[in-house]
Amino acid sequence: MRRLPPGATIGILGGGQLGRMLALAAAKLGLKAHIYCPDLKSPAFDVTRDITIAPYEDEAALALFAESVDVVTYEFENVPARTAAMVAHHRPLFPDARVLATTQDRLTEKTFINSLGVPTARFAPVDDRSSLAKAVGAVGRPAVLKTRRFGYDGKGQVMLREGLDLDAAFGLIGRQSSILEAFVPFEREISVVAARGIDGTFAAWDIAENRHENHILKTTLVPATLGAAAAEAAVSCAERIAAALDYVGVLAVEMFVVRDAGGRETVLVNEIAPRVHNSGHWTMDGAVTCQFEQHIRAIAGWPLGGTSRRGRAEMTNLIGDDVNDLNTWLKDPSASIHLYGKSDARPGRKMGHVTRVSAEDSA
């Protein structure tokens, strides 16, 4: 694909806050954005003129959308395979359909990751009650039973402790095709947010340390507390994954940090998010190039921007009622505030985020 000129149009599947911030980043670079989303009240619609409100299965609407843009991307990984194929029939889709197929299914994803020599928690497939018993034999307890598809923010997961009846556990996740993973006694959760350009250039930001509340990301701290060897290994895992997928755009690789028997820090990959990621929001205020601009640059065939950090960064998500603390944040001179334009602060809903960047030696 040739390098898109300023004025070209980026098509974005999905109209949530990630689509909104991608559209804003496109505008910063003099590019236009066309957002496709079935939901009339999409936060991304507020920031761009070209919108399509239609289901992801609407072939005619998808064709018209794709024909009206120069390249297509997405802000969520559960884009239906057929939707991706239809769009890709008309215009380049980045990241491509193979990336979606690999990352939408936890079993395919983990098998792929291990095939690169990149470590994960031990895992085994589960299709019914008897394969669950076999998987428990292979993986042991405690373990985490996860649906193969459509899990996010801890949904579609059951912790399999000693004593929990297997039939009950399989019932709790709706008797769906699943994967059983060994429980990882991690010290920290981290993510490598990085980009790969059309020419294969790879650039990662410094590693993010992520803290969750109720299975939802609450705070990201950058740089993560991590030794140099583990940090190097983590970035290398992300680079190998991106190269093997011939990836174009920004991706996040979520990892656990554990101590091995010798007391050394090691990293295990948990999952790949084939898109811009909440743990990369700090880059909007804390890095030379933010993840949204980087993604747009990559899919437009432009060179990647610099990923240097401007200081220590702390990103706090405003989830549900947290947004009622807005006045306190507004009075904090170090706080850079981002609100997503959502009117209804339902519990667990990401309403915005705040980033504070401080001098490197102030922590």
* Helix (H) or strand (E) run with residue 259 in it: strand 249-259
Query: x/- contact string, 250-289, with ligand AMP (CB under 6 A)?
Result: ----x---------------xx------------------
> Which residues, other chains included, contact 340 with Cβ-Cβ below 8 Å and sequence gap of 6+?
16, 17, 20, 43, 350, 351, 352
Residues 6+ apart with CB under 8 A from 232: none
- Could you tell me which stretch among 8-16, 19-27, 180-188, 235-243 binds ligand AMP (CB under 6 A)? 180-188
193 contacts ligand AMP (rule: CB under 6 A) = no
DSSP structure class, residue 23: H
Supply the minimum distance, in Å, between the C-beta of residue 104 and ligand AMP: 13
Compute how many other C-beta atoms are within 10 angstroms of the C-beta atom of residue 82.
13
Distance between CA atoms of residues 93 and 70, nearest Å? 10
17 binds ligand AMP (CB under 6 A): no
Which of 181, 206, 209, 293 forms a contact with ligand AMP (CB under 6 A)? 181
Q: Of the listed pieces 58-66, 183-191, 194-202, 295-303, which binds ligand AMP according to CB under 6 A?
A: 183-191
How far apart, in whole angstroms, are the C-alpha atoms of residue 269 and residue 60? Answer: 39
Instruction: Give me the least distance between CB of 287 and ligand AMP, in Å please.
Output: 23
Residues contacting ligand AMP: total by CB under 6 A: 13
Measured from the CB atom, the residue of 15 and 151 that comes closer to ligand AMP is 151
Q: Are 110 and 123 in contact (CB under 8 A)?
A: yes
Q: Nearest distance from residue 116's CB to ligand AMP, in Å?
A: 19
73 vs 251: CA distance, rounded Å: 12
**Nearest distance from C-beta of residue 291 to ligand AMP, angstroms:** 18
Output 205 or 256, the one with its CB closest to ligand AMP: 256
Q: Is 189 in the site for ligand AMP (CB under 6 A)?
A: yes
Pick the closest to residue 107 from 181, 200, 7, 218 (CA basis).
Answer: 181
Task: List the interface residues with ligand AMP, window 204-243 (CB under 6 A).
Answer: 212, 215
Asked if residue 151 binds ligand AMP (CB under 6 A), the reply is yes
Q: Does 144 bind ligand AMP (CB under 6 A)?
A: yes
* CA 125/CA 167 separation, integer angstroms: 16
Q: Cα–Cα distance between 85 and 100 in angstroms, integer?
A: 11
3-state helix, strand, coil in the chain (%, to 5): 35, 30, 40
Among 31, 99, 184, 221, binds ligand AMP (CB under 6 A): 184
Question: By CB under 6 A, is residue 154 in contact with ligand AMP?
Answer: yes
Q: How far is the CB of 169 from ligand AMP (least distance, A)?
A: 15
Is 219:153 a contact under the CB 8 Å cutoff?
Answer: no
Report the residue number, 140 or 303, with the smaller CB distance to ligand AMP: 140
CB 329 within 8 A of CB 337: yes
Binding residues for ligand AMP restricted to 118-137, rule: CB under 6 A: 121
Q: Which residues of 244-258 are buried (b: 16+ CB within 10 A; e: fewer)?
A: ebebbbbbbbbbbbb
Site membership for ligand AMP, residue 109 (CB under 6 A): no
Smallest distance, ligand AMP to C-beta of residue 269, A = 10
In the complex with ligand AMP, the residue whose CB is nearer, 26 or 184, is 184
Interface with ligand AMP by CB under 6 A: which range of 83-91, 179-187, 281-289, 331-339? 179-187
Task: For residue 125, count other CB atoms closer than 10 A to its CB.
Answer: 18
- Is the Cβ of residue 194 or residue 198 nearer to ligand AMP in the bound state? 194
Both tokens of residue 86?
């239809």
Q: Please identify, using beta-carbon distances, which residue of 103 and 307 lies nearer to ligand AMP.
A: 103
Interface residues toward ligand AMP, by CB under 6 A? 121, 144, 151, 154, 181, 183-184, 189, 212, 215, 254, 270-271
